[in-house]
């Protein structure tokens, strides 16, 4: 039956009226690379998602799907197993969260999906993405990790939970005790799947899967898929749809340099970098817990503000550091590989490997903490004599070139045009900005020398 065109127009007008009720964030005007712009031109509306879900997506500031979302969302909605590989910061989280949310029946008070991640901070972040994108859906999301009180989780599970986000140990604990019931959980996602399938986790994953129904859908996501995944794939996945958007491995927006130094010159070198670089926020990686603490102390002594985090800290303290750094309370964060994977802080434009990592996967994930969603970033590696072979090995494995650091680094390589220090006159006018992502910021000054955040209490002992 055909309708008169005027009522057709009226219908589409009425159908679109929900769009006017949305509160959209300011548009992100920073330049983006092809890592996220080379799409097929899909729209989120092409996937026939619930209107409430579309509202959550648009209100998060997403305008259209990224390449990995275009590939994964339609297939995931059909219920097929997926093994997906895409570069850091290109939107893998929403690629599995959107179809997961779409498939939840909020009338049914049962756990229907598990999103498994390797670290507690990543669990908190992923559950937040679920809550944001699903905020109009009436879906109950629960996050559960080690380092918190088991009793609280048990209490929470006595209420309605549709999606569980968490780390393997605690989830297995809850499932084995019969507190978390996954018997009707049809979706099982493993983010950073290669990490979850490393020997430290595999026995847990094997047990966990036994609590799921036979016809569950399993989806694996990561930027890196070493061969260890093959065994799992053959054992558990049914005709998986494989996505690989990594024709090259490193991000186009991230410029990589190395500085050849002696171990004892490292702190001095870092000091020089702090004074020369236009850091909005930085993450500085060390190879051990001990070195994280020592370096954080040195940085504080140099007069710069910094937080630190590592696995041996109390979880409550770890959470506070993560939360406050994300909110821009402090400019620099020193950490171990605890925060190497998945952590998404758009304001980070510089990553420094104070200690060079041992393998290519770790390197890739670390430098991928900058240059999120196709934006610009800078990765600086301090290389000692002992690291030299490792540097060549990682360059070779990743097919990338890490250049020696030039005397002057062009700020246009890692600072958004809107935030470039264009004139001295604006120096007093800057503010250290996280919320507007590209913000106006300038070179940081030690102790009170213009750092607007120096008044903020430093959590370091």
Ligand X SMILES: Nc1ncnc2c1ncn2[C@@H]1O[C@H](COP(=O)(O)OP(=O)(O)OP(=O)(O)O)[C@@H](O)[C@H]1O
Contacts to ligand X by CB under 6 A: 62-63, 65-66, 69, 86, 88-94, 223, 342, 344, 346, 368, 372-373
Report in angstroms how near the CB of residue 35 gets to Mg ion at its nearest: 14
Query: Which stretch in 4-12, 84-92, 226-234, 298-306 sits in contact with Mg ion by CB under 5 A?
Result: 84-92
By CB under 5 A, the count of residues binding Mg ion is 2
325: partner contacted, choices Mg ion, ligand X, none (Cβ within 5-8 A by kind): none
DSSP string, 210-252: TTS-TT-EEEEEES---THHHHHHHHH-SSPEEEE--SS-S-T
Is there a contact between 327 and 356 (Cβ–Cβ < 8 Å)?
A: no
Interface mask (CB under 5 A) for Mg ion, residues 136-175, using x and -? Answer: ----------------------------------------
Angle at 338 between CA 30 and CA 371, to 5 degrees: 15
**Distance between CA 54 and CA 75 in Å, rounded?**
18
Report in angstroms how near the CB of residue 72 gets to Mg ion at its nearest: 12
Ranges within 328-357 binding Mg ion (CB under 5 A): 342
Is there a contact between 334 and 292 (Cβ–Cβ < 8 Å)?
A: yes
280: partner contacted, choices ligand X, Mg ion, none (Cβ within 5-8 A by kind): none
* Residue 211 or 221 with smaller CB distance to ligand X: 221
> Is 374 among the residues that bind Mg ion (CB under 5 A)?
no
293: partner contacted, choices Mg ion, ligand X, none (Cβ within 5-8 A by kind): none
* Residue 187 or 451 with smaller CB distance to ligand X: 187
The enclosing H or E element of 202 equals: helix 202-209
Report in angstroms how near the CB of residue 124 gets to ligand X at its nearest: 13
Interface mask (CB under 5 A) for Mg ion, residues 90-109, using x and -? Answer: --x-----------------
- CA–chain centroid gap for 254, Å, is 16
* Residue 92 or 326 with smaller CB distance to Mg ion: 92
Phi, psi (5° rounding) for residue 329? -70, -30
Report in angstroms how near the CB of residue 62 gets to ligand X at its nearest: 4
Query: What separation, in Å, do the N-terminal and C-terminal C-alpha atoms of the chain show?
Result: 73
Report in angstroms how near the CB of residue 90 gets to ligand X at its nearest: 5
Report in angstroms how near the CB of residue 76 gets to ligand X at its nearest: 14
Is there a contact between 71 and 84 (Cβ–Cβ < 8 Å)?
A: yes
Report in angstroms how near the CB of residue 193 gets to ligand X at its nearest: 11
The enclosing H or E element of 17 equals: helix 5-20
* Residue 69 or 381 with smaller CB distance to ligand X: 69
100: partner contacted, choices Mg ion, ligand X, none (Cβ within 5-8 A by kind): none
Which conformational region is residue 5 in: left (phi greater than 0), alpha (psi within -120 to 50 degrees), or beta?
alpha
Angle at 247 between CA 241 and CA 251, to 5 degrees: 115
387 CB contacts (<8 Å, ≥6 apart)? 356
- Retrieve residue 397's tokens: 């494995």
* Residue 247 or 410 with smaller CB distance to ligand X: 247
Which residue shows structure tokens 């918190």?
A: 148
Report in angstroms how near the CB of residue 118 gets to ligand X at its nearest: 11
The enclosing H or E element of 276 equals: helix 266-276
- Retrieve residue 309's tokens: 């985090």
* Residue 86 or 284 with smaller CB distance to Mg ion: 86
Is there a contact between 218 and 236 (Cβ–Cβ < 8 Å)?
A: yes
**Closest Cα partner for 185 from 246, 255, 74, 104?**
104
* Residue 90 or 278 with smaller CB distance to Mg ion: 90
- Retrieve residue 408's tokens: 């002057």
**Distance between CA 113 and CA 165 in Å, rounded?**
8
* Residue 342 or 439 with smaller CB distance to Mg ion: 342
* Residue 41 or 178 with smaller CB distance to ligand X: 41
223: partner contacted, choices ligand X, Mg ion, none (Cβ within 5-8 A by kind): ligand X
Residues at the interface with Mg ion (CB under 5 A) = 92, 342
């Amino acid at each position: 039956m055909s309708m008169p065109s005027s009522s057709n127009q009226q219908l589409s007008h009425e159908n679109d009226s929900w769009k006017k009720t949305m509160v959209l964030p300011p548009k992100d005007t920073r330049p983006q690379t092809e890592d996220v712009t080379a799409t097929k031109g899909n729209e989120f509306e092409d996937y026939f998602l619930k209107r409430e879900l579309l509202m959550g997506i648009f209100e998060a500031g997403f305008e259209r799907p990224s390449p990995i979302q275009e590939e994964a969302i339609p297939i995931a909605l059909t219920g097929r197993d997926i093994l997906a590989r895409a570069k850091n910061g290109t939107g893998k989280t929403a690629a599995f969260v959107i179809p997961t949310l779409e498939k939840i029946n909020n009338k049914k008070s049962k756990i229907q999906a598990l999103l498994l991640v390797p670290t507690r901070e990543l669990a908190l972040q992923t559950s937040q993405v679920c809550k944001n994108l699903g905020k109009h859906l009436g879906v109950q999301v629960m996050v559960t990790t080690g380092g918190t009180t088991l009793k609280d989780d048990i209490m929470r599970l006595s209420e309605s939970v549709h999606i569980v986000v968490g780390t393997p140990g605690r989830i297995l604990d809850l499932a084995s005790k019969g507190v978390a019931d996954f018997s009707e959980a049809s979706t099982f996602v493993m983010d950073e799947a290669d990490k979850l399938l490393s020997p430290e986790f595999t026995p847990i994953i094997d047990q966990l899967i036994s609590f799921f129904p036979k016809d569950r859908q399993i989806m694996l996501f990561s930027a890196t898929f070493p061969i260890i995944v093959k065994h799992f794939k053959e054992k558990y996945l049914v005709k998986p749809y494989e996505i690989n958007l990594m024709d090259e491995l490193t991000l186009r927006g991230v410029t990589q340099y190395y500085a050849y130094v002696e171990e004892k010159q490292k702190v001095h070198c870092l000091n020089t970098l702090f004074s020369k670089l236009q850091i909005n926020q930085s993450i500085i990686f060390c190879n051990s817990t001990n070195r994280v603490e020592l370096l954080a102390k040195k940085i504080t002594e140099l007069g710069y503000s910094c937080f630190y985090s590592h696995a041996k800290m109390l979880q409550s303290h770890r959470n506070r550091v993560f939360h406050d750094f994300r909110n821009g309370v402090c400019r620099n964060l020193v950490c171990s590989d605890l925060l190497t994977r998945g952590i998404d802080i758009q304001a980070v434009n510089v990553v420094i490997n104070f200690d060079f990592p041992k393998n290519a996967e770790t390197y890739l994930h670390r430098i991928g903490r900058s240059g999120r969603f196709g934006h610009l970033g800078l990765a600086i590696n301090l290389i000692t004599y002992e690291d030299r072979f490792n540097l060549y090995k990682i360059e070779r494995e990743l097919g990338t070139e890490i250049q020696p650091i030039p005397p002057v680094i062009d700020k246009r390589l890692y600072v958004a045009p809107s935030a470039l220090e264009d004139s001295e006159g604006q120096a007093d006018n800057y503010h250290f900005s996280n919320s507007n992502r590209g913000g106006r910021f300038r070179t940081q000054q030690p102790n009170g020398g213009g750092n607007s955040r120096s008044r903020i209490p430093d959590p370091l002992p």
